[in-house]
Amino acid sequence: MRRCTPEEAASQLHPQDTLALPIGPGQPMDLLDALGRRDDWKGLTVFTGLLSAPFALFKRPGVRLISCFYGPVERALREAGLPVDFVTGDFRRFERIAQRLAPRVVATAASPPDPDGWMSLSLHAGATVDLIARCGRDPDRLLVVEASRRLPR
C-alpha cells in the first residue's frame, strides 16, 4: 500500500483497461476527475451504476461506460450520444456482473483512516466488498481507495 495523489493513481491505469466502481456514494470522485483529465484512452471500460456526477471521463473518446443502475447521469450521457451500455441486474447481482467483466482495476471511496489505519466503506459497504477484497489480494490487479472526508465513518 502506498499513498498517492489522484493524478498518480490515475496514471496507473493503462490506456486500454477495465475499471470497476461501486454505485453512487462509493465512487471515488477525485480519481474520476483525474481520469477525465487524461486524453490517451484507447479502450477503457468502466463498470458502475448511479453515477454521482457527469464526469468528463465519460465524454472522452475511447471510454465506454457499462451501468447496472441507470440514473439521470447515465441517461444524459447516452442521450448525448456517448457509449453507455446498460446491464440488467439488481443490487445482489452487481458484484457478480462486475466479476464477469474481470476488471484489472477496482476503485472505491472510503472514510479517512482512523488512528489505527482502518477505513470504512461507509454508505456503500455492500455490493462490492468481496470484489474490493479480491482485487486487493491479487498482485496482478490494482486497488485504488480514495480517502474522502465526505463519507461518514
pLDDT attached to residue 143: 96
Are 66 and 83 a contacting pair, CB within 8 Å?
no
The answer to whether 47 and 101 have CB atoms below 8 angstroms apart is yes
Task: Give me the pLDDT at residue 129, please.
Answer: 85
Element (H, E) at 135: helix 129-137
Q: Where are the alpha helices (DSSP H) in 22-123?
A: 29-36, 72-79, 91-101
The model's pTM is 0.92
Residue 125 is predicted with a pLDDT of: 64
Q: How far does CA 103 lie from the centroid of its chain?
A: 10
pLDDT at 100: 83
Q: Give the dihedral of Cα atoms 61, 69, 74, 47; nearest 10 deg.
A: -10
Positive or negative CA dihedral for 98, 103, 109, 114? positive
pLDDT score recorded for residue 101: 86
Low-confidence ranges of the chain (pLDDT < 70): 90-91, 125-126
At residue 88, the 3 state secondary structure works out as coil
